[in-house]
Amino acid sequence: MTARIAYCTDMEKSVLSNNFEKRGWIQVGPDDEWNFYWAGAQTCRSLFSVDSGYRMNDNQMINHFPTHYELTRKDLLVKNIKRYRRELEREGSPLAARDATGRYIHLDFLPTTFMLPADYNLFVEEFRRNPNTTWILKPAGRSQGVGIFLVNKLAQIKKWSRDTKSSFNPALVKDTYVISRYIENPLLIGGKKFDLRMYVLVTSYRPLKAYMYKQGFCRFCTVRYDTSGQELDNMFVHLTNVSIQKHGEEYNSVHGGKWPVRTLRLYLEGTRGKARTDKLFADVTWLVVHSLRAVAPIMASDRHCFECYGYDIIIDDQLKPWMIEVNASPSMTSTTANDRIMKYKLVDDIISIVLPPDGVPNVHWNKIPANDKSGDFELLLDEELYQNSDHSATHRGKNSDRHSAPRWK
């Protein structure tokens, strides 16, 4: 007899509820006895807080790690990657090698970034060294393009400081902003900027186990990219967020301003060649692996948890990928029929991986499914499985198998 699985969710999305109901699960409230909780990040933080006093049993699972913000909050992501680089340098790892200009050779996948107000003086020094550059300012804890703007003059930063009544005194300012060098030479298709959204499932941080989803997509801007600097205030030119672009006059409701990643791959193979395209996608895998390694030692790895992250990546015109941010709750809203099909399959595959073969949540399950149960996810790294292998993607040396990337469709 099949066990009765009770699920709870605070997101009313059809791709979620249809998946749960297909399995015969029963919906309950957050105060009832539940087995599987697909929650918002804030709900998870409340549940794991010391004040809640809530303790989960062996047959309960939830879709966020307690300290996911170490990866998904913009300022902490930058802080943790910088710390990771310093640690590798102290260890003498070849991964931390730098070129003659001081740039990291193998770990240069994050644009130059500072925290405001704490790093304001450092930012000013960098700006004056490179005065003809554009920077993008983002609130550290916001998403969907909220509060983002571009600047290319110090006076614009000072005006923003005055307008927001936020003195550059770290002791007085509660909100942190990140300011990053803007990728001014993005790869354009049809004259328009785009970014790559990839899904990464982490089932454990210690040992680190992660999967990459093969069905990512590109999100396009609705207005042609402008290199003159005259369109700095036009977010339809610069930000790919669907929450912004869907209000653009040229937004295409049929394809939702998106390309499947397989279409991008075919386009690049035809225009740039297969070897360069293969290297690009191997480099995407590389940056994902090392961003996870950067946070793994400080992440609270609770066996009740799993997490699917949305990685946002910009590709420049040299086919170099840049990690822009990592989302803790990538949108499950469907903008097109194809979008709905993809996200339904994404959730279905996630559940198939994180639950044991009998379908009942169990924290003692090692979350290593049979090959035919992982759907469109491919194993990215498993430290437990490969810790003694010289060919593991988790190996810290430069001789890592960088081309053991998922076979992107």
Average pLDDT, the chain: 84
What pLDDT, on the 0 to 100 scale, is given for residue 235? 55
Closest alpha carbon to 307 in 73, 61, 92, 130? 61
HEC sequence for 51-69: CCCCCCCCCCEECCCCCCH
- DSSP secondary structure string, 190-223? TTEEEEEEEEEEEEEETTEEEEEES--EEEE-SS
What pLDDT, on the 0 to 100 scale, is given for residue 354? 96
- One of 3.30.470.20, 3.40.30.10, 3.30.420.40, 3.40.50.2300 is the CATH number of 37-109+191-409, namely 3.30.470.20
More confident site: 56 or 402: 56
Given CATH 3.30.1490.20, say whether it is the number of domain 112-182. yes
C-alpha 203, offset from chain centre: 15
Express each pLDDT in 220-235 by its tens digit: 887 788 766 665 655 5
Express each pLDDT in 378-388 by its tens digit: 999 999 876 65
What pLDDT, on the 0 to 100 scale, is given for residue 397? 42
Q: Where in the chain is the domain with CATH 3.30.1490.20?
A: 112-182
**Strand pairing category for 258-260 and 208-213:** unpaired
Q: Where in the chain is the domain with CATH 3.30.470.20?
A: 37-109+191-409
- Report the length, in residues, of the chain: 409
DSSP E strand stretches across 31-125: 36-38, 61-62, 113-116
What pLDDT, on the 0 to 100 scale, is given for residue 371? 81
Residues 363 and 62: beta-carbon distance below 8 Å: no
Which residues touch 239 (CB under 8 Å, ≥6 apart)?
Answer: 145, 148, 221, 245
Express each pLDDT in 312-333 by its tens digit: 999 999 999 999 999 999 989 8
